[in-house]
Amino acid sequence: MYSIYQDGSDAGRFAAQIYRGLREGDLGAEPVVELACLMEEADLGCPPVREILERPAAELTSQEVARLGRDLLRATGFDQLWATLETAVKVVEGDVRAAGIDVVLGITFPNWDDSGCARVGCCGGYGSPAIWPSSGRDAGAALVEIADAVQDVVIEHIWGVWPICPEHRLGLHAAFVEGTAVWQCAGAGTHTAAAIGDLGLSSRQRHFCRSK
């Protein structure tokens, strides 16, 4: 279903333009028509694709363009990819707040980048490394990638290390271990400090959750 969104693909670029246009209320017909053409070529034709290809673009009202743009994002699975990334941002935000750092995190396609990759940011600045929407294919892998990006923006925001291992006072790193997205510490041999999203739990609660 997500095959059309390979990293760096034209489809991803047009989907990003559609998403941004919908959010800002100024979606033009061009990226909608382009994405519909790519879907047709990839044998992903469906009623909205046919409607777009059969009607002259100049005839479409801005409401119709918006409706068709939303239909294409849904039909290609972009909606689910994006929802997975947004959920991951919320989970990691919980970890940031657990450290007493008051930030509002988000993920977006910044205006200055037309490549189709998203960035995580806090407090209005979106400066994280690039996140391809296709990262949302796997919730666990997405969580690790988002945690890594959030770590980047938070460190820049507070000019300090985050997150920190409660035992060793060393910086943690996001990793995927035995099917779980975790924060790992390099102290005393590598160990897992907590599952990503669980940093706010006390060590007793973490132990309890693990042993369940």
CA-CA distance, 175 to 193, in Å (whole number)? 11
172 binds Zn ion (CB under 5 A): no
CA-CA distance, 26 to 150, in Å (whole number)? 29
196 binds Zn ion (CB under 5 A): no
Nearer to Zn ion among residue 55 and residue 168 (C-beta):
168
166 binds Zn ion (CB under 5 A): no
Hey, what amino acid is at 53? L
Closest residue by beta carbon to Zn ion: 185
From residue 173 to residue 192, the character string flagging contacts with Zn ion as x (rule: CB under 5 A) and all else as - is ------------x-x-----
Nearer to Zn ion among residue 187 and residue 200 (C-beta):
187
20 binds Zn ion (CB under 5 A): no
CB of 212 to Zn ion, least distance (A): 22
74 Cβ partners below 8 Å, 6+ apart? none
CB of 165 to Zn ion, least distance (A): 3
Q: Is 16 exposed, middle or buried (0-12, 13-18, 19+ CB in 10 A)?
A: buried
Q: Which of residues 78-97 bind Zn ion (CB under 5 A)?
A: none
CB of 93 to Zn ion, least distance (A): 22
- 119-122 and 105-108: which strand pairing? antiparallel
168 binds Zn ion (CB under 5 A): yes
105 binds Zn ion (CB under 5 A): no
Q: Which residues of 36-73 are buried (b: 16+ CB within 10 A; e: fewer)?
A: bbbbeeeebeeebbeebeeeeeeebeeeebbebbbbbb
Using CB under 5 A as the criterion, which residues of the chain lie in contact with Zn ion when the complex forms? 165, 167-168, 185, 187
